[in-house]
Every structure is written in C-alpha cells, then in structure tokens.
Amino acid sequence: MSAETEPAGAARAPGRLLRWIDIPVREPDGQPSAARPRFAWNMGEVSGSLGDLGTFLPHIVGAITVVKMDPTGILTTFGLFYAFTGAFYGVPMAVQPMKAASAAVLIEPMAPAAIAGAGLVIGAFFLVLGLTGVVSRLARALPGSIAAGLQLGLGLSLAALGIRLIGTQIWLGVAISALILGLMRYQRSPVALVAVLAGIAVGQVLGITPPFPMPDLGLHLPHIVVPTWAQIVHGTEYAVLPQIPLTLTNAIIVTAAV
C-alpha cells in the first residue's frame, strides 16, 4: 500500500457514517507506531491487483477447457474471495488456484463434482487445523529456511514459466519485458496494468491472438454442484493429498512469515 501513515493514536475526522479500522504499522519490537488506511485508491493498487494473473489464468483456463468446469462459478467465487480477503486483511493477499490439485485434475480424468468434493475436504481439513491451533505448532516446528527455500523455488519456477511463454512470441515478449523494466523506474507506475493492456492491443492489431468474442451480457449465476461420496473420495485421493503439503507450507506458513 502506498498510502501515507499517521500516528497510531491520531484523531480521526468526524462525520463519516462508515469507517474501516485503520491498520497499525508496527516497529520491529512489535509496538504500534503509526496507522495507515485499510484502502488506498491509486494506479499502483490497480496494477498490483493484476500481479497474480500470470499464475491464475493458466490454471483457470485449463480447468474450464479440459475439465469443463463452469466458468461462471469459478470466476464469481474467485472474485468474491479476492474482495473479502482484501477487505479483511488490508494487505495484498493472493487468492490462487491450488497448483498441485489443479495439475492433478488436468492429468487424472475427474468430473467437476469430484473437484468440488476435493475443495470441501481440503477446506474442512485446514479449518480444523486452524481452529485447534495445530497449524501454529507446525509453523513453529518448521525452520525458516524451508519457507525461504519455497519462496525461492516458486520464484524460479515463475521465472522459468515466463521465459517459456516469451519463447512463443520472442519479439513481443522481449518488447513487453523491456517496457516493464523501463516502467519499474517510476514507483507509482502501474507496470502490470500497462503490460497487460499493451500485450492485448498488440496481439489484436497484429492478429496474433483470436478476436474478441461478442459478450453475452446478463446475470449468470453459478450452478450448485453436489458431489457424491464416491466423487469426494476420488477428489481426495488425487487432488487433496498432493495439495496439503503445498498449501500448508507455501500458502499458510510462508504467507504468515511474509
């Protein structure tokens, strides 16, 4: 967040009917020394909101095209959880597909209902771990080098993915990369937003990407999917079991450490 901070005990302007509690900015010793607004409205926030599209879109497109999952349900729920975590935590919090599970459902034939069952199981599993405090004890037991190694490994994996994507259109990838590096010199520049818009514009003008389809405007509500017990077991075996270690370390312990 780029909003300016103010002393933690500073008085607030009266007269506002709705005011979110500001977030304390703490010193290394844990004492609050300042406070910043929970929300900041600027181009940096808009750019930052697009920072996870590189990992979000491939998994989501794969789930929609290969597994035939309902795009309305996926995009609606992801949007709601993005809004909820942003309002609740007041800091950038990624809401991402579970990468091990999403890779498993692309390899192992699995119905959308089985994926829904896997989501229910893994959600209940980590809810119990959080309520009982087991996850906190696990976090204390793991050394910090594991969290650092996971961050490094994921960063290198994303860098390798970017290089492979550049290889599909080398000249465009190099041009966009140069644009990003140039814009990063300016602190308030919406780097990701400009890169996404520039890539879309060039792709449409030169015919590299398919033309935009005609939008089907209207209210499209997600469909309720009720998995059977057999589908829950299938989803648990192939999607939940490989995902639990990754979620525990990368999505919970590493995120809390950062």
What does DSSP assign to residue 67?
S
| Residue 239 phi, psi (nearest 5) | -115, -40
Q: What is the pTM of this model?
A: 0.64
Residue 3's pLDDT is what?
42
Q: Judge whether residue 9 has pLDDT over 60.
A: no
Nearest one of 106, 145, 43 to 239, comparing CA atoms? 106
Q: 72, 222 in Cβ contact below 8 A?
A: yes
- Distances, alpha carbon 219 to alpha carbons 23, 113, 165, 193, 222, in Å: 36, 23, 34, 27, 10
- Give me the chain's average pLDDT, please: 77
Instruction: Decide if pLDDT at 15 tops 50.
Output: no
Query: For 33-44, what is each residue's pLDDT tens digit?
Result: 666 777 777 776
198 Cβ contact list (under 8 Å, min separation 6)? 176, 179
Instruction: Map out the domains of the chain as residue ranges.
Output: 35-97, 100-169+226-258
At residue 156's C-alpha, the angle toward residues 239 and 171, to 5°, is 110
Span 128-144, pLDDT tens digits = 998 998 888 887 777 76
Tokens of 229: 């017990």
Q: Is the pLDDT of residue 47 over 50?
A: yes
The average pLDDT across 149-165 equals 75
pLDDT tens across 207-230, in order? 887 887 787 777 888 888 889 999
